[in-house]
Every structure is written in C-alpha cells, then in structure tokens.
Amino acid sequence: MSAVQPFLLLSGWVVTTDGDDTARAIFDRHYSRTRYADGRRPLLFVGPGEKLVLVRHDARALFVWRRFAVFRNEGAELSSQLIREADAMADARWPGERHYTYVAPRRIRSSNPGCCFKHAGWRACGVTKWNKLVVLERPT
C-alpha cells in the first residue's frame, strides 16, 4: 500500500502509473513535452527512476514527480492549491527531499514565470546556464 493513499480522499489527486493514457494526454499538452521525429510513442512518458504520477480526479490537471516536478492545470481549481496538495503527497512518499522544477519563460504566456508555484510558497533560486530555465524550489 502506498504512503500517499490517505491523501486521495482529501485532495482529489489520484495516484496513477507512468504510461496511463489519461495522464499521457495531459502531459502531451505540456510545453516541455518532446516528441520523437519518427513518431514513436514509448509506453512510459515520464522516464526511468522513482516517480509519482498524479492526475486530478476530473482529469483536468497533472503533477509528476521524478527528481523535479512537471505540472499542468487545465481546470478551474487554483493551481497553487493543487501544488500544495501534490507537495504533501510527495513529502509522504519521500520525506525530507528537495522539491524543485524548471520553468521556460520563453515558452509560457505569463509575465511572472512560475507564479502559481510562487503562490504555493516556492521561490526562484536560479537560472540554468545553457537554456535559461528558471529554477524554482520549495524551501524546506
């Protein structure tokens, strides 16, 4: 039994697997999604290693933890609240681990990249050298 299951009733997130069709459909619309030139669609879309794939009960949001976070919200729920809930689930699975993500300012429409993460208590902590992604982390 997973350590995150008690959160399901409280948060509305459903734990699913890498390769779940509903999760893949949402992930396919995320700006960071890369596609193979030859059209291949591998069974797993998150990648290797330990991960936590969360889909909102109404299939309107996705949160993926693998060393860093991927988040997409297509519903009306407040993104910062969804991030806080996903944080709590990741904390239950991996106590004491750093939570971080990357935001590509040039690939989103916001003038405040990572705004929803910032409202959830995260902070900008740097910029990557080669592709100028904003690094956001949740302070411990």
3-state SS record for the chain = CCCCCCHHHHHCEEEECCCCHHHHHHHCCCCCCCCCCCCCCCCCCCCCCCCEEEEECCCCEEEEECCCEEEEECCCCCHHHHHHHHHHHHHHHCCCCCEEEEECHHHCCCCCCCHHHHHCCCEEEEECCCCCCEEEEECC
Q: Whole-angstrom Cα distance, residue 101 to residue 39?
A: 27
pLDDT in tens, the chain (140 residues): 344 444 454 578 999 999 999 999 999 999 888 888 998 888 899 988 899 999 999 999 999 999 889 999 999 999 999 999 999 999 999 999 999 999 999 998 889 999 999 999 999 999 999 999 999 999 87
Number of domains in the chain: 1
For 83, the domain range is 7-138
Q: Residue 133 falls within a domain, yes or no? A: yes
Q: Which residues contact 105 (CB under 8 A, 6 or more apart)?
A: 113, 132, 133, 134
Q: Residue 1 falls within a domain, yes or no? A: no
Q: Residue 2 falls within a domain, yes or no? A: no
Q: Residue 82 falls within a domain, yes or no? A: yes
Q: Residue 45 falls within a domain, yes or no? A: yes
Residue 62 maps to which CATH number?
Answer: 3.40.630.30
